[in-house]
Structure 1
């Protein structure tokens, strides 16, 4: 989300790739190799940031209040679908918390597929696992994420009493396995 952080991450990735180029196996997918380095760098940076308190610049806070005061938030809501409005009720912290609560193997599969748009085959190469394992991790990760978000919505009374909205009995009992 922050262009400067993204540039730093890419620069760190290229530096690590340059230093570790001897470990690259010719004939393998260069894109997947670089993306694995990028993913590891991101995870390391993310873990390091989790140990630090949140920081906000004064400019960001001032911009937000100015935007709100000028009615930017109300105008942005016009013409939005009901789904978009419901998703807005999930603050980024709740979605982030739900994603972070997933075991790492499921979280990475979901992020690579649903956020980054990688194919099953590319994800398999990045994670160095069979395609079938990717499919299984995606299914289990998505189901676990769906359950966590449903629980959040139910706790805040954002869902109706429609039983069709509740996860099925199979989904309720299906907990993500920790095996690969």
Structure 2
């Protein structure tokens, strides 16, 4: 976990602190991009863009929130921007048809990813931040710049849709 001192050193240009900070943020940023976009290469592109934005905007980080919260806001926006630029691409189809990892392309893991991808924005972002990154309601509200009650509402609706879509799941099953 990156502490405030590391963030402050990174903001002043300490190269080691910047590298340590970006390495700490890399995996969560990629996970957000992957679950938002549903395609490995797109997620890598969006995560790279998000990390670049984090690096460029590091001087604007005021420290009002946790650095993870601030970085996830950037990651969500980068993934959404990437998705908008590739509207004609259908996520998950390549992986479902025969990705390189048989565990990743079969079973409930793949179906849950696909179901999350089908959620409308911002329900998808709220579900991802809560369940993938274990953010509190307040952290999600801060990250997405929405009220806490709106977070709760999106999370409730998103979970309800996921339960509905996955209720008929059978091992090796397919989403309806």
**TM-score, normalized by length of structure 2?**
0.53
What is the aligned residue count?
129
- Structure 1: runs of 5+ lacking an equivalent: 68-72, 74-86, 157-180
Separation in structure 2 between the aligned mates of residue 28 and residue 129 of structure 1, nearest angstrom: 14
- Once the two structures are overlaid, the 10-residue window that deviates more, 134-143 or 11-20, is 11-20
1:42 to partner: Cα distance: 1.7
Separation in structure 1 between the aligned mates of residue 48 and residue 115 of structure 2, nearest angstrom: 30
Is the CA contact (8 Å cut-off) linking 2:47 and 2:78 kept in structure 1?
no
1:52-63 equivalence runs, <5 A = 52=89
1:137 to partner: Cα distance: 1.4
1:111 to partner: Cα distance: 1.4
Say if 2:149 is the partner of 1:140.
no
The CA RMSD over aligned residues, in Å, is 3.9
Structure 1 residues 3 and 91, CA gap change in structure 2 (3 angstroms): closer
Q: Name the counterpart of 1:102.
A: 119
Q: Name the counterpart of 2:73.
A: 36
Structure 1 residue corresponding to 2:50, chosen from 10, 13, 16: 13
Separation in structure 2 between the aligned mates of residue 135 and residue 16 of structure 1, nearest angstrom: 28
SS of 2:135 mapped into structure 1: coil
**TM-score, normalized by length of structure 1?**
0.52
SS of 1:104 mapped into structure 2: coil
Structure 1 residues 117 and 49, CA gap change in structure 2 (3 angstroms): farther
Say if 2:88 is the partner of 1:51.
yes
1:149-168 equivalence runs, <5 A = 149-150=166-167
- Larger Cα-atom Rg: 1
SS of 2:79 mapped into structure 1: helix
Separation in structure 1 between the aligned mates of residue 63 and residue 139 of structure 2, nearest angstrom: 17
Separation in structure 2 between the aligned mates of residue 55 and residue 30 of structure 1, nearest angstrom: 34
Q: Name the counterpart of 1:172.
A: none
Is the CA contact (8 Å cut-off) linking 1:29 and 1:125 kept in structure 2?
no
Structure 1 residues 146 and 55, CA gap change in structure 2 (3 angstroms): closer
